[in-house]
Amino acid sequence: MFRSLARGIMGQRLMSSVAATPKLSYPKFISFPAFPSIQPQTPSVFISTKLPLSNDVMEVDEEADNTLYTDSVLRKRRLKMKKHKLRKRRKAQKSLMQRLGKI
């Protein structure tokens, strides 16, 4: 059917998208291969009990612990945005002056 004729009744939606799709038949029995050597593992397997837990406490410098490493990235982004806004405003101001005949 032509697209122009298909759109006539439903507005912008095509008739092909509204029409019912044919039912798909799926096989009744789906077999999956069985692997007897593979067994599901619980999370406790991943926790190693052979290694002793350390009782040593390390002292952490408070200044080094609370540092924020993204300062320079955020500062660079802020300065880039500031530069972009300044250029945009200068361009708008220049075009305004040209329209007014002052340049």
Residue pLDDT, tens place only, 57-92: 566 566 666 665 667 888 999 999 999 999 999 999
**pLDDT surpassing 80 at residue 94:** yes
Say which residue, 49 or 103, is predicted with more confidence. Answer: 103
pLDDT value for 86: 97
HSE of 62 in the Cβ direction (CA atoms, 13 Å)? 0
Look at residues 21, 19, 17, 15 and name the one whose alpha carbon lies nearest to residue 2.
15
pTM of the model: 0.32
pLDDT at site 71: 76
> In 1-103, which ranges are continuous DSSP H helix?
3-10, 15-18, 62-65, 71-100
DSSP 70: T
